[in-house]
Amino acid sequence: MEGYKRLARTLIAKGAIIDYYQDTMQIPNGNVAKWDLIDHKGAAAVVAVRGDGRILMVRQYRNALERETLELPAGGLNGREEPTVRAAARELEEETGYVSANLELLNSIYTTVAFCNEKIDIYLARDLQPGTQHLDEDEYLNVEAWPVEELMQMIFEGKIQDSKTICGILTYAAKYGQED
Task: Give the Å distances, CA to CA, from 81 to 41, 78, 117, 146.
Answer: 9, 8, 15, 33
DSSP state at residue 104: E
Burial environment of residue 26 by CB neighbours within 10 A (0 to 12, 13 to 18, 19 or more): middle
Quote the CA–CA distance of 64 and 155 in Å, as a whole number. 20
Quote the CA–CA distance of 24 and 10 in Å, as a whole number. 8
Cα dihedral 111, 152, 123, 135 sign = positive
Determine how many CB atoms are found less than 10 A away from the CB of residue 97.
16
CB-based burial, 101-114: b 16+ in 10 Å, e otherwise: eebeebbebebeee
Quote the CA–CA distance of 35 and 117 in Å, as a whole number. 13
> In the annotation, is 94 catalytic?
no
Residue tagged active-site, from 2, 66, 81, 137: 137
Catalytic residue numbers?
Answer: 137
